[in-house]
Each structure stands twice: as C-alpha cells, then as structure tokens.
Amino acid sequence: MAAPRLFRVIVPVGDIDAAAGWYAAALGIPGSRISANRHYFDCGGTILALRDVTMDPAAGRFRPNPEHIYLSVDDLEAAHERMREAGCPELGEVEVQPWGERSFYGRDPDGNPLCIVQAGTEFTTR
C-alpha cells in the first residue's frame, strides 16, 4: 500500500491580492488565482494555497498558521534575497541548524511562519 501524498497546504491570509503579490515576489513564481479568495503556488507537487479567510464568514476570525511551513530551494541565498526584497517582516539569517539543515526562518506579512531550506540538506526520517 502506498503512503499518502501531501498535495495541498492552506496558508490563511487577510488580503488575497497583497498576499499573492508578496508570495510571488518571495518565491519567484507567479502562482495562479483559483477563485476570488484563493491563490495557488505549485511547490514541487504540493500546492501552497493562500486562502483569504476574511472573504469567508464561516471561517471565523483570522489567525495565522501556528507552525512553520518548510520549503526547499536550490539557491538559498537567492531565496533569502527575494524574501528580503519582498519586505519579509521577520527574516532570519542563513544558518546551519544543529540537525544539519542549511536554512533561514521568516514570517509572511500575515504572520505565517516559514522556513526555507537548501535543497540537499533537508532532514527527513530516511
């Protein structure tokens, strides 16, 4: 039996247009508007789905994700520079973590925590 495959991660945002523009600049890819309140970024087969929760009364009050979303990139320095140029409100320095990952941490303008990791240094259970 095959293991389940993660295909979508929801990122709550307060303004879909502003968030889509920020993520496009930070990730270096445009993504696609799916509906009035959703914008999708294909991140290697898993969709990073921005969802403007302010457009959905049933969603309740806005809260950012409590935990980091980890993205792996081929060029960590270029990713760090894109995040800096996009105006990442909290942007850490590139560091090698105790578990061996080379990465940096930040938050998007809505407060969602992110970690960007150098491809090839990802720590997994394998």
Please list the helix, strand and coil fractions of the chain in percent, rounded to the nearest 5, in that order: 20, 35, 45
pLDDT tens digit sequence for 36-49:
999 999 999 999 99
Residue 126 has pLDDT above 70, yes or no: no
Cβ proximity of 108 and 19 under 8 Å = yes
pLDDT tens digit sequence for 72-107:
999 999 999 999 999 999 999 999 999 999 999 999
Mean pLDDT of 33-61: 92
Of residues 11 and 58, more confidence is placed in 11
Q: Please report the pLDDT score of residue 60 as a whole number.
A: 76
Q: Please report the pLDDT score of residue 65 as a whole number.
A: 95
Q: Please report the pLDDT score of residue 12 as a whole number.
A: 96
Q: What does DSSP assign to residue 14?
A: S
With helix as H, strand as E and coil as C, how does 51-90 read?
A: EEHHHCHHHCCCCCCCCCEEEEECCHHHHHHHHHHCCCCE
Q: Which domains does the chain have, with CATH numbers?
A: 8-118 (3.10.180.10)
Task: Give the sign of the dihedral formed by CA 112, CA 7, CA 42, CA 92.
Answer: positive
- 61 pLDDT band (50/70/90 cuts)? confident
Number of helices followed by number of strands (H, E) in the chain: 2, 9
